[in-house]
């Protein structure tokens, strides 16, 4: 398992970038605009990680380096009840095996890996944890493909 990023929802992307980049000193390493979903993701890394990413010229390294993911939902007007903190993310070697082990241990899979790529669980304190398959998505298999979502994440 490898730590990937922590997601934080922001209500003003410019103000957030001013804080994290201009004041805290993080550097933007990747950005994704999603017109259909109406959101922008901005990944920020420490100067040391950003330098390593640029030196290797790898977009994959930008995906895999520890980062903060700023998520700006274009239509959101404000966050209440702690909704601005999103989730922790970890890359795993076999998402099906990890989810099965978690289920066997009594953990609810809130968003099953129906796509062979992504799942969500929630900690006892309500912190969402995203699990992402290393490399390409695994072939779609049961019981995962037909397993419904449970609760929220």
Tens-digit pLDDT profile for residues 44-82: 988 888 888 888 776 666 566 788 999 999 998 777 767
Report pLDDT for 126: 81
Distance between CA atoms of 33 and 89, rounded to whole angstroms? 20
Please say if the pLDDT value at position 19 is more than 70.
Answer: yes
What value does the mean pLDDT of the chain take?
Answer: 89
Where are the alpha helices (H) located in the chain, listed in sequence order?
13-17, 47-56, 59-64, 95-104
Distance between CA atoms of 33 and 13, rounded to whole angstroms? 12
- The two tokens of residue 25 are 């000193």
pTM: 0.69
- The two tokens of residue 44 are 């920020």
- In a 13 Å sphere around the CA of 136, the CA atoms on its Cβ side amount to 3
Tens-digit pLDDT profile for residues 105-132: 999 999 999 999 999 999 876 878 999 9
Share of the chain above pLDDT 70, in %: 93
Report pLDDT for 57: 72
Place of tokens 């779609």: 140
Q: Which residues are catalytic?
A: 130
């Amino acid at each position: 398992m490898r730590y990937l990023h922590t997601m934080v929802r922001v209500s003003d992307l410019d103000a957030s970038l001013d804080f994290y980049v201009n004041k805290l000193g993080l550097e933007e390493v990747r950005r994704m605009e999603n017109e259909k979903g109406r959101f922008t993701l901005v990944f920020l890394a420490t100067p040391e990680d950003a330098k390593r990413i640029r030196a290797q010229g790898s977009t994959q390294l930008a995906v895999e380096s520890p980062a903060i993911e700023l998520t700006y939902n274009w239509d959101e007007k404000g966050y209440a009840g702690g909704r601005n903190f999103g989730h922790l993310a970890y890359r795993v070697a076999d998402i099906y095996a990890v989810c099965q082990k978690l289920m066997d241990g009594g953990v609810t899979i809130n968003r099953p890996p129906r796509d062979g790529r992504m799942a969500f669980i929630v900690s006892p304190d309500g912190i969402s944890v995203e699990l992402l398959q290393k490399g390409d998505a695994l072939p779609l298999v049961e019981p995962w493909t037909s397993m419904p979502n449970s609760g929220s994440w």
